[in-house]
Amino acid sequence: MMMEDIATAFPTIEILRNEPLAHYTHTKTGGPADYLAFPTNIQETKSLLAYANQIGLPITVVGNASNLIVRDGGIRGLVMILTKMNAITTDGQTVTAEAGAALIKTTQVAQAHGLTGLEFAAGIPGSVGGAIFMNAGAYGGEIKEVAVAAEILTPEGEIRTLTQAELDFGYRHSSIQDYNDIVLTATFALKVGDKTEIQAKMDDLNARRAAKQPLELPSCGSVFKRPEGHYTGQLIQEAGLQGYQLGGAQVSKKHAGFIVNIDHATATDYLDLIHHIQAVILKEDDVHLETEVRIIGEEPHTK
């Protein structure tokens, strides 16, 4: 399938060929996408999906690529990045955001309208779609507490609205992961609050985040899920792994739950370091660290 065919079919959509995904991931790593499209609305997303289904092209959907590792072999088929679908609207005590809207921006819109409930997400760097996909959370709050509905596109091309119950939220989980649906919009039910108090809480959480997390370096955010009865960063620290480096990837010296790109790291460096941490913690603490970061794409081809 030639690039010209897709470009001809969708002349108004930006579509790139063999585009390195390292340009878009927060780790600054990742191999190329065969085709990378940036739909700007729901209809374009639906049309791209229908076209890909028709010609048998695999589809991968990416939001803000913040909690994501793309392997160095890249992704075959069509990758859609939805960050150009980013409208945010309010209606009374609800905020509805398109999947590509930044979660941080969504919290700011809520604050501007005097709506409370999203403050915990004020510093989460992902998209709204990604937040629904993985039930993002921070500082004791989770998306499941405020998300009441999500408009989704099924792999077969049907647009449906899922209720909170149908989204089946769990710890870093939603039904979106189980059925490969594409999040189009999400609606959050909030409460009326005081704008100044809301902003103060957001400022406080962001200050705490900046003090503890290595925001100044490329990373994929929190790498591992929190194992029951333990704190991931503490386990890694006590195992003597803080500052441990493989290739250009390093266990952050600021927060051991993060892996940072300090010297032109590859996705393979990241994955090798993840596997090393898992092996050490399993041996020393008999705890299996499960990744929170989403890992997709193909292994690099070795010659």
Question: Average pLDDT of 241-261?
Answer: 98
Is pLDDT of 106 > 80? yes
CB 282 within 8 Å of CB 267: no
Segment 242-262 shows an average pLDDT of: 98
Taking only the tens place, the pLDDT of each residue in 258-274 is 999 999 999 999 999 99
Q: What's the pLDDT tens digit per position in 16-57? A: 999 999 999 999 999 999 999 999 999 999 999 999 999 999
Question: Distance between CA 128 and CA 124 in Å, rounded?
Answer: 10
Question: What domains does the chain contain, in order, with CATH numbers?
Answer: 3-81 (3.30.43.10), 88-210 (3.30.465.10), 214-296 (3.90.78.10)
Band (6; pLDDT cuts 50, 70, 90): confident
Structure tokens at 41: 């609305």
Q: Give the tens place of pLDDT for each residue, 223-239.
A: 999 999 999 999 999 99
pLDDT the model gives residue 302: 58
Q: Are strands 68-70 and 294-296 parallel, antiparallel or unpaired?
A: parallel
- How distant is the alpha carbon of residue 59 from its chain centre? 17
Q: Which residue has the tokens 């408009």?
A: 151
Contact 32, 17 (CB under 8 A): no
* Cβ neighbour number for residue 99 with a 10 Å cutoff: 28
- For the stretch 66-87, pLDDT in tens is 999 999 999 999 999 999 999 9
What proportion of the chain, given as a percentage, has pLDDT over 70? 98
Which pTM was predicted?
0.94
Q: How far apart are the C-alpha atoms of 300 and 303, rounded to whole Å?
A: 9
Q: CB count, 10 Å around CB of 91?
A: 9
Cα-Cα-Cα-Cα dihedral sign, residues 82, 274, 174, 75:
positive
Q: Tell me which residues are annotated as active site.
A: 172, 222, 292
What average pLDDT does the segment 242-248 reach? Answer: 98
